[in-house]
Structure 1
Amino acid sequence: MSPRRHRGMLLLVLCWVLLAACTAQPTTEIAGSRPVDTSARAMLGDLRTLDPCTLADTAALQRFGAVSNAGIVSLDYCLLHLKPDDRTLIQLAVGELTGPDSDRPGDPVVPQGALNIVQNAPVPGHCTRRVRFGDGVSLQVSADLLAGEPGAGLCGIADAGAEAVAGAVQQGRAGHRDFPPNSLALVDPCAVLDTAAVNQVPGLEEARPRPSVGGHQCSWGEQSADAPRVQLQHTAGEPPRILHGAAVEEPVDGRRTVLSVVGGDPQVPLCSAETGHIPFGTVAGQVEVAQLVVAVPGETGTDACAYARGLARLAWPNLPPANP
């Protein structure tokens, strides 16, 4: 996998999101007007095709330093780099959608027009703000310190990013990508991989699929680094490639596939299987990618890759054809 998508994947593997089943249409009363539907779907449209970069306002962040686009590593969020000075590098991820399970008691909530901004408690080197819609779905803005000294003002940057997102949403500036019919973005990953096959992985005998709010990820297992888990996500970026000696390239169901022990240490029981799909976006060389990640604590990376290979053999035939 590409180094940038590798970093994004490690974050995603640790953050499993659930889809909230909301049947009522939440509304917000605004003085002097009729109630407004503040659900995520009403304000953002089709969540599968949302372009999170249309909500990332670089002008609102320039007071903190030089801002640049960090490239595409996910369909679910927009990645920016911010340099307050020559020694500090901050990464800002804008747009990941999470469900009501992200709420934690005691987190301050600040009204922002018809929406709310939830201020998650910061941890060293990381700060998250969530723009919460009326149905409990949130759009996340996270700032991470990649280089430099602590105290880089991460929460101030996350605050500015979240306020810009809330403003863009309420001004109707949420844009959408135009995907072809055979795009992975339009395919439910929970329908690609049979849960009965996932249940063959040790520790996942009773696991049920959990779709993400944006519709690009499906996970089985607990949200814990020491728990068995499987995740299938549809993403985008550079084509999969071999980055270290604990990776191999081989055909799986006729698709070029890279199997890689995450981090390159064969003793780490975490493996990814990736296959490229159709071209993505306007940057030459970028493609959509199906990425399957398997964790089997107590076993080796070789064992994890054996499970990843087996699951990929069952999943890849259910992907849309690259040339319909």
Structure 2
Amino acid sequence: MLGELRTLDPCTLTDPAALRHLGAVSEAGTVSLDYCLLHLKPDERTLVQLAVGELVGPDEGGEGDPVVQHGALSIAQSAPVPGHCSRRVQFGDGVSLQVSADLLAGDPASGLCGIADSGAKLVADAVQQGRAGHRDYPSNSLALLDPCAVLDTESVNQVPGLEEATPRPGLANHVCSWGEQSADSPRVQLQHTAGEPPKLLHGAAVEEQIDGRRTVLSVVGGDPQVPLCSAETAHIPFGRVAGQVEVAQLVVALPGMTGTDACDYARGLARLAWPSLPPANP
């Protein structure tokens, strides 16, 4: 029903014009290959972000969530939490497409679940009407490259706590993860994404050349005591908006250690991964 997941354009699954009854709607820019972001302003003081398109497997959904039928598809209604409400458009194979509404500013009682409901119904309609569109990526795009093939698992197994870790690919093959996805577990993730070129956002970030690629190494959040570090490098231009690029993002988390330690491992893994990325000018 969605076609080739690697090239799926999640922005074709929503319709800003159909959401205008909820408030002013605008595109929010690209931060991922896997979901589309919109901003809604129900009133002058309230700003809501709607994320549409992230695919999740059966182990990532909430068991026992209420389900409503919408045509041939069903929509699972997750229980809201403060500032967040999500819905999952469910397919018959255990895969779901997530729609999330998050409050960025304004009144917490701003109808987030109503916005998520409307977004999920638009997705279900688009899918059932055959309107799921696809991006036309060039042959050297990161979107067409499996990140699990870019970073060798034997190298990841050298990271403390990940000696036995095996790769877990994302459903659209834009991300590969090693280790448990919890705050107290060591983990490595390589993601192919898109948006603005990597920037030096704080004093705990440095710019280096790794395999001839400008790379930004950054302790996430800027606190050197936080054991989470990313290594990011820009690739080729992305989409129709000037300045947007594809980005390879490598993240290393080492609970119990420091951000400097995490960056040392991120740097080492980037040195092994970047040579496997396609050339910017094939």
| Fold in common (TM above 0.5) | yes
Partner of 1:231: 189
Out of 113, 136, 140, the residue aligned to residue 182 of structure 1 is 140
State which drifts further: 217-226 or 158-167: 217-226
Out of 79, 99, 103, the residue aligned to residue 145 of structure 1 is 103
Partner of 1:319: 277
- In structure 1, how many angstroms separate the alpha carbons of the residues matched to 2:65 and 2:159? 36
Partner of 2:41: 83
What fraction of aligned residue pairs are identical, expressed as a percent? 82
- In structure 2, how many angstroms separate the alpha carbons of the residues matched to 1:195 and 1:123? 36
Deviation at 1:96, TM superposition (A): 0.5
Deviation at 1:128, TM superposition (A): 0.8
Provide the TM-score with structure 2 as the length reference: 0.98
Number of equivalenced pairs: 282
Contact 1:60 1:161 in 2 (8 A): no
Deviation at 1:116, TM superposition (A): 0.9
- Counterparts of 1:1-324 in structure 2 under 5 Å? 43-324=1-282
- In structure 2, how many angstroms separate the alpha carbons of the residues matched to 1:297 and 1:143? 30
Q: Pairwise CA RMSD of aligned residues?
A: 0.8
Q: Secondary structure at the match of 2:21?
A: helix
Deviation at 1:227, TM superposition (A): 1.3
- In structure 1, how many angstroms separate the alpha carbons of the residues matched to 2:124 and 2:131? 10
Deviation at 1:149, TM superposition (A): 2.0
- In structure 1, how many angstroms separate the alpha carbons of the residues matched to 2:155 and 2:46? 45
Deviation at 1:104, TM superposition (A): 2.3
- In structure 1, how many angstroms separate the alpha carbons of the residues matched to 2:120 and 2:19? 11
The residue identity in structure 2 corresponding to 1:258 is V
Deviation at 1:83, TM superposition (A): 0.8
Structure 1: gaps of 5 or more residues: 1-42
- In structure 2, how many angstroms separate the alpha carbons of the residues matched to 1:132 and 1:204? 33
Provide the TM-score with structure 1 as the length reference: 0.86
Q: Secondary structure at the match of 1:164?
A: helix
